[in-house]
Chain A
Amino acid sequence: MKELNIDTLYAALSQLPEYEAPPTIWEHLDQVLETDLILSRSAKDLPLYSPPDAVWDGIAMKIAPQRVIVGRSNIQKYYVLVALFAGCIMAAWWWATHANPDNTEQIVVTQEVLNPGLVAAIRDKEDDAYALVASLCASRAIVCDQPEFRALKSELDELTAAKQRLHTVLGQYGDDSEMTLQLVQIELARTQVLQEIIQMI
Chain B
Amino acid sequence: MKNILFVLILLLGHIAMSAQSTLQVVTKTVQKTLDWKLGYTVEINGEKAEILIESALAGSKSVQVKAEMTARHPQLDSAQLDLKAWKFVTSTIGKKIYIRAYIGLPSGQALPNSNLKVKIVVQVPDLCPVILANKFGKARLEHLTGSVFILGEFCALTLVDLKGGLRIESQYGNVDGYQLGGQIDIQTKRSAINLTELRGNCSLHSEFGAISISNSPQMGNLFINANKGDVTLSTSTQPPHYNFTLTVTNGDLKTPVNPSFIVTTDGNTKQASLHQGASLPQVTVAVTLGKITIQ
Contacts and interface: CB of A to CB of B under 8 A. Distances in A.
Interface string B24-65: 111111111100000000000000100000000000000010
A166 B136 contact: yes
A175 B72 contact: yes
Contacts of A189: 190, 208
A108 B29 contact: yes
A111 B63 CA distance: 32
Given A108-B27, A109-B24, A101 B33 contact: yes
Given A162-B172, A171-B115, A114 B25 contact: no
Q: Tell me whether chain B's interface is mostly helix, strand or loop, or mixed.
A: strand
Interface string B143-176: 0000000000010100000000000000010000
B186 interface: no
A152 to B, nearest CB: 12
Contact of A104 (B22, B31, B154): B31
Contact of A111 (B25, B138, B156): B25
Interface in A145-201: 162, 165-166, 169-173, 175-176, 178-179, 182, 186, 189
B21 A113 contact: yes
Contacts of B32: 102-103
A18 interface: no
Interface of B: 20-33, 48, 64, 72-74, 76, 79-80, 83, 113-115, 117, 136, 138, 154, 156, 172, 190, 208
Q: Is the interface of A mostly helix, strand, loop or mixed?
A: mixed
Nearest to A106: B29
Interface string A74-97: 000000000000000000000000
Contacts of A106: 28-29
A109 B154 contact: no
Interface string A3-33: 0000000000000000000000000000000
A119 B24 CA distance: 16
A40 interface: no
A169 B48 contact: yes
A101 B72 contact: no
Given A101-B31, A101-B33, A182-B154, A110 B25 contact: yes
Given A110-B27, A111-B25, A102 B136 contact: no
A173 B156 CA distance: 21
